Structure 1
């Protein structure tokens, strides 16, 4: 199983990583000091277990857990904190466990044993298929990161290193490369019609012939147009049965 550790205290991360490495088959894929970096990473990665400190800068562990559950409701959340008062809220969002600092070796080993047992009961075929297609995408608005449904996206446009996501409610910035986003989107719905554009085919209102035998796609609701490059014409015609 793949896991992450999010804790702004380095000694705490090192201690937990030691127990995980020595006494479990978990692979620590990445470590984080704040919640926003966790969300960015999770948009393009599949993780089975997340160890989350509750008090972190940017976005606390409870907020991160709620958003992670929306991305992948099968992820196991384990809170790591020095504060008992968050326990009720943690289990309201179906946390797998709640570990108090300073860590008890017995308590950590018990948690790791439960994780192993839980994983053995999981159907292998189902776990292999988890999160192959993302249903959420991370955007940035006024310096804050949010998750939106992929279905809300009309198109995505790349300007150099800046990637913009267009919805009915406006345009937003994504920190991910357009190629990385495309790898995770549903290929039956989203099409990379140009090296700088991804379009949601469900949002296309009209296909307009353009110069050099290319097309421009007019989108519903937002009045925007997206080009189809010459290199993609043949595949695009097949895709829409032209």
Structure 2
């Protein structure tokens, strides 16, 4: 169930939006506000998943309010519903979930609500996978499917159409993208230090300085060295206590 807040100072527009939201069992309208200041106070102290807000409002415009909300809670989904198309770029700079122009259609609102539910389901599934602390994954070796212990993985490499998983004795393949494997594998054991590589932290035996302040990693039982992107160097240093 998604907890929603509506911030809209025009009564007819607010009632129409409420009608569509109330017809979807995945949503619950916790509060509705005409005044954005009152809305902000409520959002700061309560569990809110989605905020539907207009832009042209008294005291504090909706775009400024959206920026404040995004600053203190980036998980709240912001859906702007407004007659002003000029603020769309600003909205997506703060990662607004959607930007709907008035007068909106029933189909447009229903589509946004369905997209919000899909986003919630996706996030829940990713969190569930992480909570399971998966110890084995199924990979491919030639024509066979092999159940592989994650403890045996040295590193993972993204290719164009598949992902390669390396152990000390074999290279396996998977149709899962490297980002999907990153979600599945424990972040306490595996480190994605490059867009194309994930490494088993327990298998790292050497860290070598590379160019432009980056590093390359040597893992046990492997001659290949794994690069670490510059934007991941700080995280690597924290993981391996590099001073």
TM-score of the pair, normalised by structure 1? 0.50
**Which residue does the alignment assign to 1:26?**
27
Q: Deviations over 1:153-209 (max 9, x none)?
A: xxxxxxxxxxxxxxxxxxxxxxxxxxxxxxxxxxxxxxxxxxxxxxxxxxxxxxxxx
- State the secondary structure of the residue aligned to 1:103: coil
Higher relative contact order (CA 8 A, sep 6+): 1
**Which residue does the alignment assign to 2:15?**
14
- Aligned counterparts of 2:65 and 2:127: Cα–Cα separation in 1: 24
Superposition RMSD in Å = 1.8
Instruction: Kindly name which structure, 1 or 2, has the bigger radius of gyration based on alpha carbons.
Output: 2
- State the secondary structure of the residue aligned to 2:123: coil
Q: Report the more deviating stretch, 90-99 or 23-32.
A: 23-32
Deviation at 1:23, TM superposition (A): 3.0
Deviation at 1:102, TM superposition (A): 1.1
> Which runs of 4 or more aligned residues in structure 1 lie more than 3 Å from their structure 2 counterparts after TM superposition?
124-127
**Which residue does the alignment assign to 1:194?**
none
- State the secondary structure of the residue aligned to 1:23: coil
**Which residue does the alignment assign to 1:174?**
none
- State the secondary structure of the residue aligned to 2:45: coil
- Aligned counterparts of 2:112 and 2:73: Cα–Cα separation in 1: 21
Query: Which sections of structure 1, spanning at least 5 residues, go unmatched?
Result: 128-242
Q: Report the more deviating stretch, 118-127 or 91-100.
A: 118-127
Deviation at 1:18, TM superposition (A): 0.3
Mapping for residues 1-242 of structure 1, pairs under 5 Å: 1-123=2-124
Deviation at 1:52, TM superposition (A): 0.7
8 Å contact 1:24–1:112 — kept in the other structure?
A: no
Deviation at 1:124, TM superposition (A): 7.3
TM-score of the pair, normalised by structure 2? 0.50
Query: Which sections of structure 2, spanning at least 5 residues, go unmatched?
Result: 129-243
